[in-house]
Structure 1
Amino acid sequence: MGITRIVVLLYLLSSLCQAATLTSSSHSSNPNRTDLEAAIEDMRAKSFYGFAILLQMLNATTQLALRDITFFIPRDAQLSNISIAVGRLEAFVFSHFIAMPLQFSDLIRFPTGSMVPSGVHNRMIRVHNHGRAHFLVNNAEVTVPNVCATHTVKCHGVNRVIDYGHANLAS
């Protein structure tokens, strides 16, 4: 009877350890999943499918590590109104981010007129800060703040494709 108890106890202990391992791995982030992949999932969850697809296409064709950034992501309706040449995909996506991971509460601290470098060399994003209800980056108003908020990638939905004036980065 003593050996049976030990076997049962070892079985229960083994089962308990396996359950604890499975629980902890399901609650922790997948170590193979990047912050960018998590951000893409967040975009999809909030119906920003078009930009999520563009990021997946870019991620599949480049070895770029998109981290420590804030994306300004247009809605699908705005993306459907433009055409993006395959060779311009990177420039288009890069024109919609800044190289700082900022929550909306951080963004609204920028005073109106602040110039922040975009992900495209020599392209600046001008901040127009009229409070939480009316915050613009160039011509695009932030309408859905904090779409994604991983550690290194933040995203905010905007009501249009960011315009840089005469230089069109889409075509």
Structure 2
Amino acid sequence: MKPASSNRILKYLQGYPEHLQSQVRTLIDEQRLAEYLANRYGGQHSIQSDKALYSYVNSLKQENLRSAPQVDKVLFDNRLDLTHRALGLHTAVSRVQGGKLKAKKEIRIASLFKDAAPEFLEMIVVHELAHLKEHDHNKAFYKLCTYMLPDYHQREFDLRVYLTAKEVGQI
């Protein structure tokens, strides 16, 4: 008889090869998903306010994307969640000021990242910062992400494992 989750659809990992999905299913069956994540990402960051998040985002931007447009507003957003398939959001709010059109750049990060490992917060911030230069999820976008964060793809995969662990109640 097959384990309970052998046919489970892992919605956050659907784009990954079957052998990786199978490994995650095994960790679910053995109740070891949280242990896997804790071994790789044991800590929690101290960024809990919008002001601290703004400072963090701007320091990463200064370090990696000095020529990108200034970010005017950064905040944790309670309305962003997994049901909307958005963990972060970048927007440009356009306003007319004195006959000129001004676009203010905003980055919103899902509030679930307040309790996540610092590596996951960094990954989602890098993702949103990359959108300042590249709007689409294309080759240039991911090249920019890996320029800012060399292990970007591993962290993105592990973030998806983290979301899966939350979904199956192992975190």
TM-score of the alignment, normalized to the shorter chain, above 0.5? no
Greater share of helix residues, 1 or 2? Answer: 2
Greater share of strand residues, 1 or 2? Answer: 1
Normalised by the size of structure 2, how large is the TM-score? 0.30
Normalised by the size of structure 1, how large is the TM-score? 0.30
